[in-house]
């Protein structure tokens, strides 16, 4: 059994940890509100732009001949993985890492074995997780969530678009956590390039557009913007999901610390009672010995 001093020190230590987890929960709650506001405002715009791009690309010759819509035989793949820069958010980053590995093993196993699958990580934790497991890292953009803005995404997007247009990659996939609520994040996988029409973005197929100055010029500007916006949206989704996951994790950690403190206090009281009983018995034994 631990001594009274050891138990007392553990109670103090757990109390300190509980105060830290409480503070982290409050900080994440404040950041979560701002993050959810940002993604709520972004979603309608991103959805409408995706619908427009899908419709225009499918219905126009300029869209079908664009460098970012052409489908090529797949010989090299880039997977963009969005994680956080910091930990203490439960299984948030591990789940994305596992989902990325599952995607590569199921969809691109042969190419991965041949060394033709690269991973571009947005967030420090993704680079650490996949790098330790031997996956080929293209670039690790760490600290991207520090002062997150579209300017940072524009630089990353330009690199990806240039590499795809140059034929360095034939497919670019994007995997990230989509924010649903504080306790729930949904892992999403999207094909970023080549741009393709799907059921979610083809709802505006009946709309007829008038192009000014020209189809080609407008499409050449809209498609790169749409790709960059998709990356930016995934970062905003992941940012909100991270704060939600950290808030939930810190709430559970605070509760667990409370339970541990209760158990330690019970152990402390039992040890103290045992020590007092032992002292009484020693006194009684000594008194009996003297009176004998």
Q: Catalytic residue positions?
A: 89
**How far is Cα of residue 208 from the mean position of the Cα atoms in its chain?**
38
CB-based contact 160:193 (threshold 8 Å): yes
**How far is Cα of residue 146 from the mean position of the Cα atoms in its chain?**
14
How many residues in total does the chain contain?
A: 292
**Half-sphere exposure for 116 (CA within 13 Å, toward CB):** 15
20: exposed, middle or buried (Cβ count in 10 Å: 0-12, 13-18, 19+): middle
**Half-sphere exposure for 86 (CA within 13 Å, toward CB):** 12
Residues 21/175/96/168 CA torsion (nearest 10 deg):
-120
Bridge partner residues of 175 (DSSP): 81, 189
Q: How far is CA 54 from CA 15, 51, 277, in A?
A: 55, 5, 80
Q: Which residue has the tokens 């591990």?
A: 94
3-state secondary structure of 179: strand
CB-based contact 50:272 (threshold 8 Å): no
**How far is Cα of residue 137 from the mean position of the Cα atoms in its chain?**
18
CB-based contact 219:57 (threshold 8 Å): yes
CB-based contact 58:202 (threshold 8 Å): yes
């Amino acid at each position: 059994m631990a001594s009274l001093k050891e138990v007392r020190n553990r109670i103090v230590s757990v109390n300190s940890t509980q105060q830290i987890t409480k503070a982290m929960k409050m900080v994440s709650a404040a950041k979560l509100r701002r993050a959810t506001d940002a993604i709520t405002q972004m979603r309608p715009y991103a959805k409408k732009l995706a619908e427009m791009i899908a419709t225009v690309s499918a219905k126009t010759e300029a869209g079908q001949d664009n460098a970012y819509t052409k489908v090529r035989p797949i010989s090299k793949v880039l997977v963009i993985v969005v994680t956080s820069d910091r930990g203490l958010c439960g299984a948030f980053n591990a789940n994305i890492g596992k989902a990325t590995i599952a995607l590569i093993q199921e969809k691109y196993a042969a190419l991965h074995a041949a060394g033709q699958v690269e991973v571009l990580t947005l967030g420090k934790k993704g680079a650490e997780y996949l790098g330790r497991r031997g996956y080929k890292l293209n670039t690790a953009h760490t600290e991207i969530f520090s002062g997150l803005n579209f300017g940072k995404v524009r630089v990353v997007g330009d690199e990806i678009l240039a590499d795809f247009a140059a034929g360095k990659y034939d497919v670019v996939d994007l995997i990230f956590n989509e924010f649903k609520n504080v306790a729930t994040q949904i892992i999403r996988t999207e094909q970023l390039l080549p741009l393709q029409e799907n059921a979610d973005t083809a709802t505006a197929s009946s709309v007829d557009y008038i192009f000014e100055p020209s189809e080609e010029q407008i499409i050449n500007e809209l498609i790169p913007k749409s790709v960059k916006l998709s990356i930016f949206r995934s970062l905003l989704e992941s940012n909100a999901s991270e704060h939600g996951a950290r808030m939930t994790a810190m709430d559970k950690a605070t509760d667990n610390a409370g339970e541990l403190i209760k158990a330690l206090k019970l152990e402390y009281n039992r040890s103290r009672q045992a020590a007092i009983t032992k002292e009484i018995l020693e006194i009684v034994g000594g008194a009996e010995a003297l009176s004998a």
